[in-house]
Amino acid sequence: MLFIQRYNKAICLIYFTFIFLSINYLYHFKNYSILHPIQQIKPLDRSLLFRINGSTKSLGKATSIYIINLPSRPDRRTESIALMQTLNLEAFIVPAYSVQSVEIVSQNRYRNKLLLKLTELACWASHMRVWMTIANNTLLHNNTWSFIFEDDIDLEIDTPRILKSFSHSIWNEADLIYLGHCGDIPGTLIDQSWKHIHRVHQALRPSCTHAYAIRSDAARKLIYLLSKPSRAIDDSIVKLVDNHQLVAYSIHPPLAMQLPSSNTNPSDVNHRNEQSFIYRIQFLFKKFSHWLKRVPSYEKLNKSTLQKANLTKAISWRKMYEKGVWKNYN
Ligand SMILES: *[C@@H]1O[C@H](CO)[C@@H](O)[C@H](O)[C@H]1NC(C)=O
Ligand SMILES: *[C@@H]1O[C@H](CO)[C@@H](O)[C@H](O)[C@H]1NC(C)=O
Ligand SMILES: *[C@@H]1O[C@H](CO)[C@@H](O)[C@H](O)[C@H]1NC(C)=O
Ligand SMILES: *[C@@H]1O[C@H](CO)[C@@H](O)[C@H](O)[C@H]1NC(C)=O
Ligand SMILES: *[C@@H]1O[C@H](CO)[C@@H](O)[C@H](O)[C@H]1NC(C)=O
């Protein structure tokens, strides 16, 4: 008797969960088809960009570097400035959308809440705005490259030299080049550096967006193909790569790493807590699947740029030069 009662409860629970999920999905799916959130997003005005005045203007074939940073995260801005100052690179810090931005809040009720978190919508919009900025700045050029970094990365200190040591042709074949492989298994070997151990591989499932180079016509393509966000931006890109609509390469071993998030360095995008039980289980699971597939694990960079960086210098530089949204973010 007791067994049957429990059994019934379980059936009821599954049934109601199914009904709830279906209603939720259909409700949002219906609205989703009339949604044009892209209209809310415009290219960034130059006055919103915060320029870091390094004397090297290019990295690989890319002639612009954009770093996405929330104005309310000056700690990460400092690290990004320190990173660029150490490599002496010119870069532009661009404001990220937050979950409180008007453009994001106004889209919230159309969001498919099962497949897309609010933070992921903000992340999608932030990258979309940089692509639009690139598209607007390269109207007559299809083959101009730019780098897009998120603000929580570290770079291999030899990145500029390593990128130079690859064949020039990689820049003519790819739409996107990832500096890191995000735990992806390497696809076909495309190129081997003549001087370093680094290789360029076809990226099969590049599920991360913390450091990638993008070609100007690929930016235009993504604006068009991803104009309606239905899932996290990295998953959407993986889908386009799967469908052969985009060609992506990644560099092994990685030249960029995402800094681990923690309570003192919270992630703005994922809100995941790396100390949490679930995260650790996922991490172990990922390690196990890498071990099965024989992916070499690179836990850290060979020579970290941030370790060489002078944060004191970056803080005082930031405080001296930031203005507008960067200074008055509250
Ligand atoms: C887009 O590019 C045009 C021409 O380069 C420029 O005049 C305009 O200000 C840009 N728009 C934005 C929003 O930056
Ligand atoms: C960048 O600005 C700082 C402060 O004005 C200056 O000391 C430095 O020489 C500049 N660097 C370049 C490459 O222009
Ligand atoms: C850029 O690409 C588009 C679409 O592929 C094409 O129509 C256009 O002519 C190209 N422009 C240049 C300058 O190559
Ligand atoms: C790491 O750096 C050392 C010293 O510069 C170099 O000899 C070695 O080849 C590098 N290893 C990798 C994996 O890049
Ligand atoms: C870091 O920069 C500060 C201020 O520019 C300078 O006083 C200090 O000597 C630098 N530290 C190192 C280790 O270079």
* DSSP letters spanning 234-249: HHHHHHHHHTTSS-EE
Please name which ligand lies nearest the alpha carbon of 143.
3
Q: What is the pLDDT of residue 140?
A: 87
Through-space distance between the first and last CA atoms of the chain, rounded to whole angstroms = 61
- Amino acid in position 325: V
| Tokens at 146, concatenated | 């730019």
Instruction: Write the DSSP symbol of residue 177.
Output: E
- CATH number, domain 46-329: 3.90.550
| Residues paired with 186 in a beta bridge | 203
pLDDT digits (tens, 9 = 90+) for 261-316: 655 555 555 444 455 666 566 667 666 766 666 666 656 899 999 999 999 999 99
Ligand 4 centroid, distance to 7 Cα (angstroms): 60
Q: What is the pLDDT of residue 321?
A: 96
What sign has the CA pseudo-torsion 143, 123, 212, 57?
positive
* Residue 2: pLDDT over 80: no
Q: Tokens 């790569």, residue? A: 241
Q: In the structure, what pLDDT confidence band is assigned to residue 33 with cuts at 50, 70 and 90?
A: very low
Ligand 3 nearest-atom number relative to CA 142: 1
Q: Are 233 and 182 in contact (CB under 8 A)?
A: no
The mean per-residue pLDDT over the stretch 144-172 comes to 96
Burial bucket for residue 7 (CB in 10 Å: 0-12, 13-18, 19+): exposed
The mean per-residue pLDDT over the stretch 312-326 comes to 96
- HSE-up of residue 102 (Cα within 13 Å, Cβ side): 2
Q: What is the pLDDT of residue 142?
A: 87
Helical H segments across the chain, by residue range? 2-32, 74-87, 102-105, 118-137, 159-164, 170-173, 216-225, 233-242, 277-293, 305-308, 311-321
Q: Are 203 and 241 in contact (CB under 8 A)?
A: yes
* SS3 label, residue 1: coil
Ligand 2 centroid, distance to 318 Cα (angstroms): 12
* Residue 31: pLDDT over 50: no
| Tokens at 272, concatenated | 């995941």
User: Which of 110-114, 179-183, 198-202, 268-272 is the least confident region?
Assistant: 268-272
The mean per-residue pLDDT over the stretch 186-192 comes to 95
Furthest C-alpha separation in the chain: 79
- Distance (Å) of CA 44 to CA 103, 127, 181, 234: 14, 11, 28, 22
Q: In the structure, what pLDDT confidence band is assigned to residue 193 with cuts at 50, 70 and 90?
A: very high
| Tokens at 28, concatenated | 């949002």
Q: What is the pLDDT of residue 34?
A: 40
**Summary mean pLDDT of the chain:** 85
Q: How many CB atoms lie within 10 A of CB 325?
A: 13
Specify the higher pLDDT residue, 27 or 55: 55
* SS3 label, residue 288: helix
Domain ranges of the chain: 1-35, 46-329
176-178 and 211-215 as β-strands: parallel, antiparallel, unpaired? antiparallel
Return the residue whose CA atom lies nearest to atom 12 of ligand 4.
302
Decide whether any atom of ligand 1 lies within 6 Å of the 183 Cβ.
no
Q: What is the pLDDT of residue 13?
A: 66
Q: Are 61 and 145 in contact (CB under 8 A)?
A: yes
pLDDT digits (tens, 9 = 90+) for 74-122: 999 999 999 999 999 999 999 999 999 988 888 888 888 888 899 999 9
Decide whether any atom of ligand 1 lies within 6 Å of the 160 Cβ.
no
* Residue 27: pLDDT over 50: no
Return the residue whose CA atom lies nearest to atom 6 of ligand 3.
142
Ligand 4 centroid, distance to 157 Cα (angstroms): 11
* Residue 170: pLDDT over 80: yes
Report residue 100 CA to chain centroid gap.
Answer: 19
Ligand 4 centroid, distance to 196 Cα (angstroms): 8
Question: What is the C-alpha separation between 72 and 243, in angstroms, rounded?
Answer: 37
Q: Are 169 and 247 in contact (CB under 8 A)?
A: no
pTM of the shown model: 0.84
Question: What is the C-alpha separation between 133 and 113, in angstroms, rounded?
Answer: 28
Ligand 1 nearest-atom number relative to CA 42: 13
* Residue 194: pLDDT over 50: yes
pLDDT digits (tens, 9 = 90+) for 219-275: 999 999 999 888 899 999 999 999 999 999 999 999 999 987 655 555 555 444 455
Return the residue whose CA atom lies nearest to atom 14 of ligand 1.
45
The mean per-residue pLDDT over the stretch 198-206 comes to 93
The mean per-residue pLDDT over the stretch 178-198 comes to 91
| Helical packing angle, 311-321 and 74-87, nearest 10° | 110
Q: What is the pLDDT of residue 30?
A: 43
In 3D, which of 184, 183, 193 has the Cα closest to residue 163?
Answer: 193
* Residue 23: pLDDT over 60: no
Q: What is the pLDDT of residue 271?
A: 45
The mean per-residue pLDDT over the stretch 29-44 comes to 64
